[in-house]
Structure 1
Amino acid sequence: MSEQDNNQRPPEKKEKKSLSLNVVSNKEHRGFGAGTIDLSDVACVMIDNGEAYIDVGAMHAKSKIERGIKFSTNKEDVPNGRPCWIVWVAVDRNEEGAFYAGATACPMLVDSEARRGWKILAQHVNNLDYAIKRRFMLDELGAEEKQALKKLLVSHNAEWWERSSDKLKEALNV
């Protein structure tokens, strides 16, 4: 085979590697994708004015509520803010089928008119992690918000609700 033949060969296609959120640790790196978290089984539920709905944009702080809002970590910057919630809901599967495995709520204040808001990003990240780790942290939600979340989860998939743990059902029983 001549050098010219080598140059005319199409380049070999490499297998495309998928990217996911990588968790950094002090352990020895074990290659591409090691220590990643799969966020495909986490849903973002927004609760605003007593209504709960799924908003995938919340995963990147671009939910309908958050778009165009300048957030602060100081509550005093948002004196006329209305309370809103992001609830991270993790879904898991066992031999019976899928179920709601974790749910954690994060508060926000949003003043759409002033385009200002309050939230603690670290709490949102930590609560997302807790939902992935199959925890339920819904105590901060009021009765109206709990009812809205329960209604959404049941209407989204009643079978998942039935297979979910009693911890979730008790937390949302109002």
Structure 2
Amino acid sequence: MSSEQSSDKKKTNQFTILKDDSTDGHGGYGIGAISLENMSPVIIDPNEDRAFVDMGAMHARSEVERRVKFLPNKDEVPNGKLYWIVWVTVEKGENGPYFSGVCGSEIRVDRSIKRAYKSMPEHVTHMDKSLKGKIMIEHMDDHSKKLLKDFLADFEGGDYWNNSGNVLKEALPES
């Protein structure tokens, strides 16, 4: 793998960490708006045993969401493959960065009919809860939770995971 390919791959697996504050006192447009700059979507693909950051999910353009029409009724996608978009929020604490909010949202994708299911209200709620430091992953299947745990625990050598609270660690199974 060339260094260029390596750097491209590294970029796709980075979390967005506290950038500019939209409420920095300039008093202009957007004051009071929610900043998503410290949130990253992690795609869990239990079908292929993988987890990866895909910033395209912030605008419903992730790898698994492209080229399908989303329907609001799960029954219309009976053969859809399960994926999770896990909204992960990173904060900086006294010991360094940590995962403060982690909320998983289900999607089902059936490529053969180019249709998929996702509940937009659920995704918006989970994004909001993640930003507020909530852990909501109890509805995820155990295999997907293990993939998520392994991904988070391995990220940046485990520093973020080690700095994270017990609520997150207790919500995810041991490897």
TM-score norm. by structure 2 comes to 0.80
1:41-56 map, 5 Å: 41-48=38-45, 49=47, 50-56=49-55
Residue 141 (structure 1) aligned with residue 140 (structure 2): yes
What RMSD in Å do the two structures reach over aligned CA positions? 1.7
- Counterpart amino acid of 2:130? A
3-state DSSP class of the match of 1:108? strand
Residue 112 (structure 1) aligned with residue 111 (structure 2): yes
Q: Which runs of 5+ in 2 are unaligned?
A: 1-19
> How far 1:33 sits from its partner (Å)?
2.4
1:1-174 map, 5 Å: 31-48=28-45, 49=47, 50-157=49-156, 158-174=158-174
Matches of 1:129 and 1:75 in 2, distance apart?
23
Matches of 1:159 and 1:31 in 2, distance apart?
37
> How far 1:173 sits from its partner (Å)?
2.1
> How far 1:31 sits from its partner (Å)?
4.0
3-state DSSP class of the match of 2:162? helix
Deviations 1:88-142 (A, max 9, x none): 0000001211000000000111101211001101110110010000000000111
Q: Which runs of 5+ in 1 are unaligned?
A: 1-17, 21-29
Structure index of larger Rg: 1
Paired residues, number: 148
Matches of 1:142 and 1:51 in 2, distance apart?
14
3-state DSSP class of the match of 1:36? coil
3-state DSSP class of the match of 2:44? strand
Superposition misfits of 4+ residues, deviation over 4 angstroms = none
TM-score norm. by structure 1 comes to 0.80
> How far 1:42 sits from its partner (Å)?
0.5
Q: Percent identity between the aligned chains?
A: 39
